[in-house]
């Protein structure tokens, strides 16, 4: 497949076309999208996948641009998949992340792709998982996923990424009120943003409050202790330290075998979700009761795509 080969060779225009093909709802594009994913799958899986979430106004786009520029200055290839909310009224999205990240957008080592959420819950777009595969096949080492910022429903993003970063604001009311249990229990690190000017003291106090609050949560299954820090995208402080935390996490998860296990569990999660959406809850429960998923999960582990497994059901 010519498009797949161009993506594997690192052609950013081809990568953009590939993601557009994945997002198409036209029936004639479905088979082409399946073939594209199958061709790129063998060349994927070697990146660090980082989810960045937080309420609107916390500074996700600015943070990602500063982090992205830091990484590209070190010679790393960075892809940003930014999810924009879709209007319930007009079904449209602004998709303005390239404008907000204009410096990173102009960087030859970066690729920014805004996508509409299209009403999908979980803070991510419907084809974000497949888009990650294409970005990895194109040679991008760091994949940053900027979620919609809609609240607790964003927990789905944790099933796409290796590292889950929650951005928080200081001085926005009672800190403990800001703790959303669903997200907090999944976060690998918390960063208090906009820690500059008159807000530095507030940010430090917030960081301490969140550190204390994290002790109330059960330990993460992978043995990692979530980190809390402060940062300022405006003054470029604390950003490098956050990436050091991410690198430390990645090294620890690779050496323990957790990263491979976690990605396998994530693939199974998306398989179950796709079957339920495709066939409905009743038929899904029937397949589950019959033990069919053990066979499907085995096929998925051996390299079959979710598309291929669905077409055989």
Give residue-wise pLDDT tens across range 20-56. 999 888 888 888 998 999 999 989 999 999 999 888 8
pLDDT at 216 over 90: no
Higher pLDDT residue, 250 or 181? Answer: 250
If residue 23 lies in a helix (H) or strand (E), which one and from where to where? Answer: helix 12-23
Q: What is the mean pLDDT of residues 237-250?
A: 97
What pLDDT does 181 receive? 60
pLDDT at 192 over 90: yes
Residue 132 tokens read as: 């990650």
Q: What is the mean pLDDT of residues 124-142?
A: 86
What pLDDT does 98 receive? 52
What pLDDT does 93 receive? 36
pLDDT at 176 over 60: no
Place of tokens 């088979």: 31
Share of the chain above pLDDT 90, in %: 50
pLDDT at 150 over 60: no
Higher pLDDT residue, 178 or 25? Answer: 25
Share of the chain above pLDDT 70, in %: 85
- Please, which residues have CB within 8 angstroms of residue 238's CB and are 6 or more apart in sequence? 191, 195, 229, 230, 231, 232
Q: Please, are residues 310 and 300 in contact by the beta-carbon 8 Å criterion?
A: no
Q: What is the mean pLDDT of residues 233-255?
A: 96
- Rounded CA-CA distance 23/128 in Å is 9
What pLDDT does 182 receive? 65
What pLDDT does 180 receive? 58
If residue 184 lies in a helix (H) or strand (E), which one and from where to where? Answer: helix 181-184
Mean of pLDDT over the chain: 84
- Please, which residues have CB within 8 angstroms of residue 119's CB and are 6 or more apart in sequence? 86, 88
The pTM for the full model equals: 0.87
If residue 186 lies in a helix (H) or strand (E), which one and from where to where? Answer: none
Quickly state the pLDDT bin for 99 (edges 50, 70, 90). low
Lowest mean pLDDT among 230-244, 256-270, 291-305: 291-305
Q: Please, are residues 132 and 7 in contact by the beta-carbon 8 Å criterion?
A: no
Higher pLDDT residue, 125 or 202? Answer: 202
Q: What is the mean pLDDT of residues 188-214?
A: 92
What pLDDT does 191 receive? 95
| Alpha-carbon separation of residue 253 from 136, 232, 248, 249 (angstroms) | 19, 27, 9, 6
Q: Please, are residues 21 and 28 in contact by the beta-carbon 8 Å criterion?
A: no
Strands 163-169 vs 142-146: parallel, antiparallel or unpaired? unpaired
């Amino acid at each position: 497949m010519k498009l797949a080969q161009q993506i594997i060779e690192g052609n950013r225009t081809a990568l953009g076309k590939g993601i557009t093909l994945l997002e198409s709802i036209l029936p004639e594009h479905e088979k082409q999208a399946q073939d594209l994913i199958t061709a790129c799958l063998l060349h994927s899986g070697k990146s660090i996948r980082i989810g960045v979430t937080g309420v609107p106004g916390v500074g996700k786009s600015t943070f990602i641009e500063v982090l992205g520029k830091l990484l590209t200055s070190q010679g790393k290839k960075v892809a940003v998949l930014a999810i924009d909310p879709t209007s319930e009224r007009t079904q449209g999205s602004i998709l303005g992340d390239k404008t907000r990240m204009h410096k990173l957008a102009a960087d030859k080592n970066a690729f920014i792709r805004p996508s509409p959420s299209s009403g999908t819950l979980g803070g991510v777009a419907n084809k974000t998982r497949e888009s990650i595969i294409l970005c990895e096949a194109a040679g991008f080492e760091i994949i940053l996923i900027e979620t919609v910022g809609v609240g607790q429903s964003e927990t789905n993003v944790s099933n796409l990424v290796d590292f889950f970063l929650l951005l928080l604001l200081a001085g926005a009311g009672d800190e403990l009120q800001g703790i959303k249990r669903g997200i907090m229990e999944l976060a690998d690190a918390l960063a208090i943003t906009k820690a500059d000017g008159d807000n530095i003291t507030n940010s430090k106090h917030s960081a301490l409050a969140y550190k204390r609050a994290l002790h109330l949560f059960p330990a993460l299954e992978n043995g990692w202790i979530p980190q809390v820090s402060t940062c300022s995208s405006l003054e470029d402080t604390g950003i490098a330290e956050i990436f050091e935390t991410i690198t430390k996490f990645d090294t620890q998860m690779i050496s323990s075998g957790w990263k491979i296990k976690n990605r396998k569990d994530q693939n199974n999660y998306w398989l179950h979700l796709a079957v339920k959406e495709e066939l409905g809850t009743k038929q899904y429960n029937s397949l589950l009761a019959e033990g069919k998923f053990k066979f499907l999960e085995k096929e998925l582990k051996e390299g079959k795509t979710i598309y291929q497994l669905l077409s055989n059901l």
